[in-house]
Amino acid sequence: MKKIPEDLLIMLDFDKSRDKSSYEERVGLPDELSAVMGRITMNFQYLEDCIDHIITEIFLGLDSEIGIIITAELSFKNKVNLFASLYYKLSSKRKFNLTEDLELEHFKYLVKALFKCEELRNQILHSNISMNWKTNQIERIKKTSKAKSGLKIIKETLNIPYLFDVSDFMNQIVVELEQSFN
């Protein structure tokens, strides 16, 4: 009876195939594309954590573990909807640090910005992003196939400054949330 080779079994087992080498030892110095993609991912995670904190601890005054139970399984969209609903309910009773005499308008722009962050994150992280070494350009390819419209392939060229702008925009919204609701 044939047996699966040991080296294949090790390769297919994450715990057995781990390597303790550093990033630089594995692939060399970090490149800009990988770094900015990581920043987008981390800044969006921080944005999501910030919304969780505001919902549970600032708006509801709950213990952080209870808050995690409430928000852990919510999509980002549902978290923003909950955040907005709680704001509308509490804003007549509590004062937040939003533009005086324009609180509601300020808040609506903030919610719009939160949804824009999600849209940008989804556009980038749910696409194929790669460096075309022949043209030295970053390519984004998004493929979808829907019953309504069939196959759709979107191709566009991106650049590092644009990706940093996405990352920085998310960070700006975090700062705005922290200043407005802490």
Contact criterion met (CB below 8 Å) for 140 and 158? yes
Strands (DSSP E) contained in 88-136 are 128-132
Q: Which pLDDT tens digit goes with each residue over 67-126?
A: 999 999 999 999 999 999 999 999 888 888 888 888 989 999 999 999 999 999 999 999
Q: Which pLDDT tens digit goes with each residue over 124-180?
A: 999 999 998 888 899 999 999 999 999 999 999 999 999 999 999 999 999 999 999
Contact criterion met (CB below 8 Å) for 133 and 31? no
Contact criterion met (CB below 8 Å) for 71 and 52? yes
- Per-residue DSSP letter, 31: P
* Structure tokens belonging to residue 45: 């995670």
Pairwise CA distance, residues 32 & 38, whole Å: 10
Contact criterion met (CB below 8 Å) for 180 and 172? no
pLDDT for position 99: 81
In this structure, what are the phi and psi dihedrals at residue 2, rounded to the nearest 5 degrees?
Answer: -75, 145
Residue 43 CB neighbour total at 10 angstroms:
21
